[in-house]
Chains A and B, each alone.
Chain A
């Protein structure tokens, strides 16, 4: 997108100025559109350092009020929560944005709840956590749409994710009451966050495992599943043969037995 908007600049400039000036203009054009784009789309990377410190300070306050009891005032961790040093903005955005944190009750796995904080507050917390020690960053919008090959994404999903999340992303059981949740309707940034931070029992998929473009491909595929209605009719929860079997016994055979009772009922 940044490149597209710069091309009219280029052609107009080439007609009036010297070649060198046009190169300079292209550079300026590229940088300004690209910069503005980044500014608009990702508040996590706010440009001016003043804004940044303000955000981090707000994050620090939120952190102290909501998280420090478990994770320690300096992110060092405590008996009730792990250290957050080095988990990065991605993990924080994921955990708080999906409502998993602050943790409500201990159990096999921190469950998803309605999120407690606004997006701005989540970003502030993420910025604060990231300011203490470097870690995986939250994705920019450009990263999320860097590539869109659903076939590649689907293949990678089957190889890397389906064993826990099921091929259709319907979710699946893990040991000791843990589970991989359903992925339908999860927003793109959280899918990215989950891959780079590996929440709880999910492994981390760093850029060497799955390149940033392929992460975008996986996201493209998951979005495709969300957007495209099931081709063959209602999908019965995408649970495969189990839901199909239950359906045929309860509704299929149920209907048929109903009909046989009606047919053999005594007339008059």
Chain B
């Protein structure tokens, strides 16, 4: 809408007599701004950007809008939060903490909750929005992964997006630690342990971070600087890059009639989408506000102020840190050695390394896949997950791995709620952590290939209509209903890949890297179903078959 208002406003200022005073003002204002900034070009460009129409393409927006909500509520909190660990005696209105010694940070958070109008709602909005923010990023990432939307030219944006995810977790963790309550203090203690578990330098880093022996009196102010200044600044910058790259690369789209690798079909952002998007922001805000007003989150008043001695049963981090907590819970005991005067403990270091590797692999997956497949083409059509069985299977394995770690973070609650022993839960999860991803891999791959075979059948022979017809010769056959061409296009238009061949390089040698690559590529593509080709289609729908087609009809070749 903006674009059209701008253009009409500049070209014919006097023409439309029936224009209301309001729109005359907007026209004038737009004109004023445009003459000084030439912004209309940008608006036009943006306005013609196309937005595809599948719901999963809106998850990124959900993340964006919850981030805006976080910014707004967080700014409110900064007016009242005091990032200081000076000890004070609580004298606010929550009776069961009256007269208790605590840090200024804790006291001010309690004041926000009990003595500042709207403060508790704002805290809850901030925290629920943080949970929704990171959850929607997670789901958004899964959508990108499983549709292959990270392939060239969008690999960089995958990396930027993944960095956003890491930053969001860091933001969440630093924020969660600010109130200096018992629960978050326990969380910081674990971080302290993680750092001290790094061989040789760990202790030094811990002292550097905490300014003294844990917990010291510096950590909350430092986390505050990270939480409201440094991390948000980096996050906003990365978000900017993410969105600019999105505009440059445009969205991927699912295959469909008229949708090719060279265009984007959908509603232009202006006007319909912009209107929807504006509304969508308020809907997200509304959902968060509703949740925040009905459900408690992080009731620090029951946790009490941080004190290094008590640790509550059921101490867990926020969900997005859960996978790390789970890794610590699952690591087998007794992994420590004494080398000379140094203790080397893998109990903590091992999970840190494993998680670090996991993160690096996910972050650089697009490059790994491109190297293995040798695919240098640009892709703008989203894959249906079944059409890339190996990738989908790897993804399922990764999700399983993450999910087991995540579940392990609540091992104690699983034990009490299902009345089983915690040792049993831990052992089961330890086994699942190794075996689960392997099972998930093979099962998913089989399912994908099965679905592809079914699609192929349907594309070639149509649906079984359930109508049985008796032919003059006495033979019974079932009538197959053919797909309409639009539907069929969806089923058959995907790309076919061949495993890479081992080829000698310029010097005529076959390097080890070449062999590894060919091996991996072979594994990636060994099981595949070729898309239905034009000739196969023509054969299947030739005159010989007509509308009636028996089971004896020729089946298309299924490639292996």
Contacts of B336 in A (CB 8 A): none
Please pick, from A179, A232, A244, A253, the residue contacting B120 in the complex, using a CB distance under 8 A: A232
Contact in complex: B314, A244 (CB < 8 Å) = no
Q: How many residues of A contact B (CB 8 A)?
A: 58
Nearest residue, chain B, Cβ from A264: B55
- For residue A225, give the distance in angstroms from its CB to the closest CB of chain B: 8
Contacts of B114 in A (CB 8 A): 231
Contact in complex: B412, A232 (CB < 8 Å) = no
From B94-102, B190-198, B241-249, B479-487, the one touching the partner chain is: B94-102
Contacts of B100 in A (CB 8 A): 151, 154-155
Nearest residue, chain A, Cβ from B425: A173
Contact in complex: B304, A167 (CB < 8 Å) = yes
Contact in complex: A252, B315 (CB < 8 Å) = no
Mask of B280-299 contacts with A, CB within 8 angstroms, 1/0:
10011001100111111111
The distance in angstroms between the C-alpha atoms of A224 and B248, with both chains bound, is 59
Contact in complex: A252, B182 (CB < 8 Å) = no
A170 touches B (CB below 8 Å): yes
- For residue B398, give the distance in angstroms from its CB to the closest CB of chain A: 17
The majority secondary structure among interface residues of chain A is helix
B183 touches A (CB below 8 Å): yes
Mask of A152-171 contacts with B, CB within 8 angstroms, 1/0:
01110011001111111011
The distance in angstroms between the C-alpha atoms of A171 and B416, with both chains bound, is 8
From B38-46, B305-313, B341-349, B518-526, the one touching the partner chain is: B305-313
The distance in angstroms between the C-alpha atoms of A163 and B303, with both chains bound, is 12
B146 touches A (CB below 8 Å): no
The distance in angstroms between the C-alpha atoms of A236 and B291, with both chains bound, is 12
The distance in angstroms between the C-alpha atoms of A257 and B320, with both chains bound, is 19
- For residue A266, give the distance in angstroms from its CB to the closest CB of chain B: 7
The distance in angstroms between the C-alpha atoms of A244 and B98, with both chains bound, is 27
Given A162-B310, A232-B120, A242-B316, residue A167 in contact with residue B295 (CB < 8 A): no
A62 touches B (CB below 8 Å): no
B301 touches A (CB below 8 Å): yes
Contact in complex: B302, A253 (CB < 8 Å) = no
Given A163-B311, A172-B313, A231-B296, residue A256 in contact with residue B96 (CB < 8 A): no
Contact in complex: B55, A261 (CB < 8 Å) = yes
Contacts of A236 in B (CB 8 A): 295-296
The distance in angstroms between the C-alpha atoms of A168 and B316, with both chains bound, is 14
Q: Which B5-54 residues have C-beta < 8 A from chain A?
A: 53-54
A255 touches B (CB below 8 Å): yes
Mask of A165-205 contacts with B, CB within 8 angstroms, 1/0:
11110111111110110000000000000000000000000
Contact in complex: B421, A175 (CB < 8 Å) = yes
The distance in angstroms between the C-alpha atoms of A238 and B96, with both chains bound, is 17
Contacts of B287 in A (CB 8 A): 252, 255-256, 259
Please pick, from B99, B284, B297, the residue contacting A151 in the complex, using a CB distance under 8 A: B99
Contacts of A260 in B (CB 8 A): 55-56, 58-59, 62
Contacts of A155 in B (CB 8 A): 100, 304
The majority secondary structure among interface residues of chain B is helix
A64 touches B (CB below 8 Å): no
Given A166-B314, A177-B420, A252-B132, residue A233 in contact with residue B296 (CB < 8 A): yes
The distance in angstroms between the C-alpha atoms of A221 and B317, with both chains bound, is 25
Given A171-B416, A260-B55, residue A232 in contact with residue B124 (CB < 8 A): yes
B276 touches A (CB below 8 Å): yes
Nearest residue, chain A, Cβ from B181: A167
Given A159-B310, A177-B415, residue A248 in contact with residue B132 (CB < 8 A): yes
Q: How many residues of B contact A (CB 8 A)?
A: 72
B265 touches A (CB below 8 Å): no
The distance in angstroms between the C-alpha atoms of A165 and B315, with both chains bound, is 11
Please pick, from B139, B409, B422, the residue contacting A173 in the complex, using a CB distance under 8 A: B422
Contacts of A154 in B (CB 8 A): 96-97, 100, 304
Contact in complex: B59, A162 (CB < 8 Å) = no
Nearest residue, chain A, Cβ from B315: A240
Please pick, from A158, A175, A263, the residue contacting B280 in the complex, using a CB distance under 8 A: A263
The distance in angstroms between the C-alpha atoms of A177 and B415, with both chains bound, is 7
Contact in complex: A263, B55 (CB < 8 Å) = yes
The distance in angstroms between the C-alpha atoms of A164 and B295, with both chains bound, is 25
Nearest residue, chain B, Cβ from A256: B62
Contacts of B313 in A (CB 8 A): 162-166, 171-173, 180
The distance in angstroms between the C-alpha atoms of A205 and B412, with both chains bound, is 25
A241 touches B (CB below 8 Å): yes
- For residue A33, give the distance in angstroms from its CB to the closest CB of chain B: 30
- For residue B60, give the distance in angstroms from its CB to the closest CB of chain A: 11
The distance in angstroms between the C-alpha atoms of A235 and B299, with both chains bound, is 9
Please pick, from A233, A240, A246, A256, the residue contacting B132 in the complex, using a CB distance under 8 A: A256
A108 touches B (CB below 8 Å): yes
Contacts of A247 in B (CB 8 A): 291, 295
A239 touches B (CB below 8 Å): yes
Contact in complex: A234, B296 (CB < 8 Å) = yes
A40 touches B (CB below 8 Å): no
Nearest residue, chain B, Cβ from A249: B135
- For residue A171, give the distance in angstroms from its CB to the closest CB of chain B: 6
Contacts of B62 in A (CB 8 A): 256, 260
The distance in angstroms between the C-alpha atoms of A252 and B62, with both chains bound, is 11
Please pick, from A159, A177, A234, the residue contacting B295 in the complex, using a CB distance under 8 A: A234
Please pick, from B288, B297, B413, the residue contacting A242 in the complex, using a CB distance under 8 A: B413
Nearest residue, chain A, Cβ from B311: A163
Nearest residue, chain A, Cβ from B131: A248
Contact in complex: B95, A158 (CB < 8 Å) = no
Contacts of B421 in A (CB 8 A): 108, 175-177
The distance in angstroms between the C-alpha atoms of A264 and B307, with both chains bound, is 50
The distance in angstroms between the C-alpha atoms of A259 and B316, with both chains bound, is 30
The distance in angstroms between the C-alpha atoms of A170 and B292, with both chains bound, is 22
A245 touches B (CB below 8 Å): yes
B513 touches A (CB below 8 Å): no
B319 touches A (CB below 8 Å): yes
Contact in complex: A162, B413 (CB < 8 Å) = no
The distance in angstroms between the C-alpha atoms of A256 and B138, with both chains bound, is 14
The distance in angstroms between the C-alpha atoms of A173 and B106, with both chains bound, is 28
The distance in angstroms between the C-alpha atoms of A168 and B415, with both chains bound, is 18
Given A163-B313, A252-B132, A253-B135, residue A232 in contact with residue B295 (CB < 8 A): yes
Given A166-B312, A235-B296, A245-B322, residue A264 in contact with residue B54 (CB < 8 A): yes
Residues of B in contact with A (beta carbons under 8 Å apart): 53-59, 62, 95-100, 113-114, 120, 124, 128, 131-132, 135-136, 139, 182-183, 276, 280, 283-284, 287-288, 291-299, 301-304, 307, 309-320, 322, 409-413, 415-416, 419-424
CB-CB nearest 4 A-B residue pairs? A172-B313, A245-B319, A232-B296, A177-B421
A-B contact pairs, 21 of them (CB 8 A): A150-B95, A151-B98, A167-B182, A168-B299, A172-B314, A175-B421, A177-B415, A231-B114, A231-B120, A234-B295, A234-B296, A241-B318, A242-B314, A245-B322, A249-B135, A251-B291, A256-B62, A259-B287, A263-B55, A264-B58, A266-B53
Identify 6 new A-B residue pairs, CB closer than 8 A, beyond the known A174-B422, A256-B132.
Answer: A151-B97, A151-B100, A173-B313, A176-B423, A179-B416, A248-B319
Residues of A in contact with B (beta carbons under 8 Å apart): 108, 150-151, 153-155, 158-159, 162-168, 170-177, 179-180, 221, 224-225, 230-236, 238-242, 244-249, 251-253, 255-257, 259-261, 263-264, 266
